[in-house]
């Protein structure tokens, strides 16, 4: 019956869903009802809009005029900015040089694609005694150690402040402007950051587009080109499927979670050595811990099996990258990886420095290529099987096509404005669809995909009492669309939306769709148990993300952080014991676990006991054995005990909103007016 229903959907209805619907979307009745609701609503409002007067059509056209997105950011346009473009291949030192300029500045920011990168820069400044804030979607750490105002922050790119003038800004991986999902965030940061000096770091193929955009804005561009710091060579032969040819420092790249775990077991059985693993759905803290195990030369973790998640965000001491395959599933079918994708991953081989090496080792960057080649630090890349090697060699010797468009999304104010011009009770997904279809953009820009936002809008559409601004906040939340998570995630998101609509004050123990019972279950070495832990971790991140934007959820942040750390500790322990070699325990494992993440889940009280004691004793982090390190103690103060007293919401919003928005926020205090992830 579901297939028949799917076949009756018109092309117009499928466009409403963002792309051709997949059978996996219909695994639950709940999801099917959401689809049918969206289809019927679309047809109804298409008819209503077609009958609307000329004034309504003209108003929609005016709101949808996005030909000049640079004009959205008046603070940046009021300046004559100096744009420094640092371009070069992976491992060429371009970001290193840009960060040196940020260190010299009195005020500024670093914006990267991942929380791991933002945290690394934040930690680097803290280690040098330089005050710095951390600002990611679900983690805000304000450095108030001496009471003075901090004018430097490290952030994920969606969180860049476009209202505060700074001396220096650094935007990493600028080529991601072309990404169809997140490209808008890089474009927004580039066009809107009011930095006197703005340093962009990325691939050479972005140069033509940057020149065009800078010329249109009237800024000044300086291009700095970098060569790779050590050679990268493609080997003449593959491993022919022989794991006996693996060497210490090898990284095997695969693209399915099942395949990654299978390769881990095979390699450990064949070699007798331990294998670290890294893939996208693991918590960032766990990925960092696994990377630390692999990088440590004094343990038995000789190999790494990873997905393309190693392409950015982790410092890895990889000597050779081995592609298990060069084909990747794109959501609909398997396809050959693109040239940039292959080069990004291959470029991780032979990295000259990892995070735990002192910076003094890399000061003389000009002499590095010759010295590293003499020391045998050449990055090598090959494939596991011979039939993939020609594809790899062709990609490594080819130039990727230039980037010609930058992604954009309309600001939240545009969406709210359009919602007021459409009939009352118009679904938010239809507002997004109308704006996307009516949008007029310049050829150098393209609208980013809205399919995921529209899915989330449909999920919470049945929740009454949410205004347009609140619905837009929910559509930008970090929601997982993985098939195995979708139904559970949708139920949790709808439950959270209902609490927000009811203006209820809650914590995570009030949510029946937050699977906290996972924390009480004994460890099981199976994939489903690990997947359930990963879902719980993502659910807690979703709660914390919303907590910084919806005041009624904010007070539950310390408990959510506590549970999140418990999940990370459980996952780390599970990965350690996932292979057959469960009896071996290494000192390095205990040492790293003591740092990333803090504590062991075995030493912790339950989340519900945490909640009970929290109500009795207030800030009880140390009594409850959180085992916080220096950085985590500061984070706990920001997300924990300090928030439990005084006016924590004002404290956080001062940074998220800036002084200029404070009065506007007091008129509508429940939400942070910011389009960010």
Mean pLDDT value across residues 323-335 = 86
Judgement on whether residues 250 and 135 belong to the same structural domain of the protein: no
Of 348-362, 514-528, 648-662, the poorest mean pLDDT is in 648-662
Do both 197 and 276 map to the same domain? no
Domain total of the chain: 3
CA atoms within 13 A on the CB side of 651: 19
**Residue 670 within a domain:** no
Final residue before a domain boundary, out of 184, 202, 225: 225
Q: What is the mean pLDDT of residues 185-207?
A: 97
Share of the chain above pLDDT 70, in %: 72
The answer to whether residue 137 sits within a structural domain is yes
Indicate the DSSP class of residue 352. Answer: S
**Where in the sequence is the domain holding 623, given as residue range(s)?**
480-645
* Lookup result for tokens 């359009």: 418
Residue 82 domain-assigned (yes or no): yes
Mean pLDDT of 488-507: 93
Closest to 291 (Cα-Cα) out of 306, 271, 280: 306
Q: Is residue 441 assigned to a domain?
A: no
Please check whether residue 372 lies inside any domain of the structure.
Answer: yes
Answer whether residue 456 is part of any domain: no
Q: Greater confidence, 67 or 33? A: 67
Query: Where is the domain boundary, 396, 423, 457?
Result: 396
Alpha-carbon gap, residue 80 to 496, rounded angstroms: 44
Helix (H, G, I), strand (E, B) or coil at 393: helix
Residue 555 in 3-state DSSP? coil
What's the pLDDT band for 347 if we cut at 50, 70, 90? very high
- 499 and 592 both lie in a single domain: yes
Whether the pLDDT of residue 449 is over 50: the answer is: yes
**Residue 27 confidence class, pLDDT cut points 50, 70, 90:** very low
The pLDDT of residue 163 is above 70? yes
DSSP-derived letter for residue 578 is: S
pLDDT at 420: 83
Mean pLDDT value of segment 340-346:
93
379 forms bridges with which residues in the sheet? 232
For residues 477-497, give the mean pLDDT. Answer: 90
* Exposed / middle / buried, residue 617 (Cβ in 10 Å: 0-12, 13-18, 19+): exposed
Q: What is the CATH number of the domain that holds 162?
A: 3.40.50.300
Q: What is the mean pLDDT of residues 627-650?
A: 33
Shared domain check, 191 and 75: yes
* Cα 266 from Cα 441, distance rounded (Å): 51
Banded pLDDT at 627 (limits 50, 70, 90): very low
DSSP symbol at 218: T
- Residue 581 in tokens: 């070699």
321 within 8 A of 233, measured Cβ to Cβ: no
Q: What is the pLDDT of residues 44-79, one digit of tens each?
A: 666 666 666 666 777 788 888 999 999 999 999 999
- Band the pLDDT of 657: cuts 50, 70, 90: very low
Q: 575 and 485, same structural domain?
A: yes
Mark residue 618 as left, alpha or beta (left: phi above 0; alpha: psi -120 to 50; beta: remaining): left
Query: Which pLDDT score is estimated for 576?
Result: 74
587 falls in which pLDDT band (50, 70, 90)? very low
Cis omega (within 30 of 0) for bond into 597 = yes
**pLDDT (tens digit per residue) in 369-402:** 444 444 457 999 999 999 999 999 999 999 989 9
Do residue 495 and residue 612 come from a single domain? yes
> Six-digit token pair at 305?
């099996």
Burial 563-587 (b: 16+ CB within 10 A, else e): bbbbbbbbbbbbbbebbebeeeebe
Non-local CB neighbours of 645 within 8 Å, separated by 6+ positions:
618
Q: Is residue 674 very low, low, confident or very high in pLDDT (cuts 50, 70, 90)?
A: very low
Max mean pLDDT among 116-130, 167-181, 251-265, 653-667 falls in 167-181
The answer to whether 597 and 537 are in contact (CB under 8 A) is no
Residues 307 and 200 in one domain: no
Residue 445 lies in a domain: no
pLDDT of residue 606: 58
Q: Indicate whether 100 and 136 sit together in one domain.
A: yes
Q: What is the mean pLDDT of the chain?
A: 78
What is the pLDDT at residue 609?
55
- pTM of the entire predicted model: 0.78
In this predicted structure, the answer to whether residue 596 has a pLDDT above a threshold of 60 is no
Residue 296 and residue 212 share a domain: no
**To 10 degrees, what angle do helices 630-639 and 557-576 make?**
140
Q: 300 with 240, same domain? A: yes
Kindly report, residue by residue over 566-585, the tens digit of the pLDDT. Answer: 999 999 888 876 554 333 43
Query: Among the three residues 197, 225, 253, which one is the final residue of a domain in this structure?
Result: 225
Residue 364 has pLDDT above 70, yes or no: no
pLDDT at 52: 61
Q: How many CB atoms lie within 10 A of CB 369?
A: 16
Residue 434: inside a domain: no
Q: What pairing do the DSSP bridges indicate for beta strands 232-234 and 65-66? A: unpaired
pLDDT classification of 290: cutoffs 50, 70, 90: very high
pLDDT-based confidence at residue 23 (cuts at 50, 70, 90): very low
> Half-sphere exposure (CA, 13 Å, Cβ side) for 471?
26
Residues 617 and 532 in one domain: yes
Highest mean pLDDT, choosing among 417-421, 535-539, 632-636, 670-674 = 535-539
Same domain, 200 and 251: no
pLDDT per residue as tens digits for the range 106-127: 999 999 999 889 998 998 999 9
Percent above pLDDT 90 for the chain: 49
Query: What pairing do the DSSP bridges indicate for beta strands 334-336 and 327-329?
Result: antiparallel
Quote the pLDDT of residue 412.
Answer: 87
Q: Which of 147-151, 351-355, 508-512 has the lowest mean pLDDT?
A: 351-355
144 vs 651, higher pLDDT: 144
> What SS3 state is found at 236?
coil
Between CA 460 and CA 605 the distance in angstroms is: 34
Lowest pLDDT segment from 253-257, 528-532, 633-637:
633-637
Residues 447, 441 contacting (CB under 8 angstroms): yes
The helix (run of H) or strand (run of E) holding residue 305 is strand 301-306
Res 63: pLDDT:
83
Q: Which one is predicted more confidently, 653 or 630?
A: 653
What's the pLDDT score for residue 629? 33
Strands (E), 137-225: 139-141, 152-156, 166-171, 195-202, 220-225
């Amino acid at each position: 019956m579901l297939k028949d229903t799917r076949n009756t959907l018109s092309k117009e209805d499928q466009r409403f869903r963002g792309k051709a619907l997949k059978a996996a979307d219909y695994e639950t009745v709940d999801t099917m009802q959401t689809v049918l609701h969206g289809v019927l609503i679309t047809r109804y409002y298409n008819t209503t809009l077609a009958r609307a007067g000329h004034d309504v059509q003209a108003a929609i056209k005016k709101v949808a005029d996005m030909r000049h997105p640079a004009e959205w950011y008046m603070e940046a346009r009021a300046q004559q900015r100096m744009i420094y473009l640092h371009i070069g291949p992976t491992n060429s030192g371009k970001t290193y040089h840009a960060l040196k300029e940020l260190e010299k500045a009195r005020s500024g920011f670093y914006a990267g694609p991942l929380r791991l990168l933002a945290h690394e820069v934040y930690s680097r400044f803290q280690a040098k005694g330089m005050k710095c804030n951390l600002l990611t979607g679900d983690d805000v750490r304000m450095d108030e150690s001496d009471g003075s105002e901090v004018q430097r922050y490290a952030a994920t790119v969606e969180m860049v402040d476009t209202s505060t003038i700074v001396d220096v800004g650094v935007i990493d991986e600028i080529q991601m402007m072309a990404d169809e999902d997140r490209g808008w965030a890089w474009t927004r940061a580039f066009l809107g950051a009011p930095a006197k000096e703005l340093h962009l770091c990325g691939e050479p193929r972005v140069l033509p587009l940057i020149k065009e955009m800078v010329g249109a804005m009237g800024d000044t561009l300086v291009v700095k080109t970098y060569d790779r710091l050590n050679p990268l060579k493609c080997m003449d032969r593959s491993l022919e499927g022989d794991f006996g040819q693996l060497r210490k420092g090898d990284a095997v790249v695969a693209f399915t979670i099942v395949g990654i775990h299978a390769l881990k077991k095979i390699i450990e059985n064949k070699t007798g050595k331990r294998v670290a693993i890294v893939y996208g759905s693991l918590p960032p803290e766990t990925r960092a811990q696994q990377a630390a195990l692999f990088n440590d030369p004094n343990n038995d973790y000789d190999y790494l099996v990873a997905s393309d998640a190693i392409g950015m965000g982790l410092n890895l001491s990889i000597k050779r990258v081995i592609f298990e395959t060069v084909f990747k599933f794109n959501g609909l079918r398997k396809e050959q990886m693109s040239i940039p994708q292959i080069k990004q991953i291959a470029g991780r081989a032979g990295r000259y420095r990892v995070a735990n090496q002192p910076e003094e080792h890399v000061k003389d960057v000009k002499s590095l290529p010759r010295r590293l080649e003499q020391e045998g630090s050449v990055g090598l890349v090959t494939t596991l099987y011979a039939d993939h090697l020609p594809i790899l060699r062709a990609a490594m010797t080819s130039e990727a096509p230039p980037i010609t468009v930058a992604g954009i999304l309309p600001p939240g104010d545009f969406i709210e404005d359009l919602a007021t011009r459409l009939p009352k009770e118009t679904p938010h997904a239809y507002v997004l669809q109308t704006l996307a279809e009516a949008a007029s953009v310049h050829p150098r820009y393209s609208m980013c995909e809205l399919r995921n936002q529209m899915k989330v809008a449909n999920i919470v559409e049945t929740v009454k009492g949410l205004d347009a601004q609140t619905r837009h906040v929910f559509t930008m939340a970090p929601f997982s669309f993985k098939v195995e998570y979708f139904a559970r995630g949708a139920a949790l998101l709808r439950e959270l939306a209902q609490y927000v609509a009811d203006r209820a004050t809650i914590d995570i123990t009030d949510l029946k769709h937050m699977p906290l019972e996972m924390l009480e279950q004994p460890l099981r070495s199976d994939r489903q148990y690990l997947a359930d832990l990963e879902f719980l971790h993502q659910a807690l991140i979703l709660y914390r993300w919303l907590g910084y934007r919806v005041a009624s959820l904010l007070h539950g942040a310390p408990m959510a952080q506590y549970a999140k750390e418990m999940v990370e500790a459980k996952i780390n322990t599970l990965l350690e014991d996932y292979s057959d070699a469960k009896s071996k325990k290494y000192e390095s494992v205990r040492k790293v676990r003591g740092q990333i993440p803090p504590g062991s889940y075995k030493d912790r009280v339950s989340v519900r006991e945490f909640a009970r004691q929290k109500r009795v004793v207030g800030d009880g982090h140390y009594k409850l054995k959180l085992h916080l390190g220096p950085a985590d103690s500061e984070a706990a103060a920001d997300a924990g005990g300090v928030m439990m007293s005084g006016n924590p919401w004002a404290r956080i919003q001062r940074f998220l909103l800036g002084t200029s928005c404070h009065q506007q926020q007091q008129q509508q205090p429940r939400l942070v007016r910011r389009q960010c992830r």
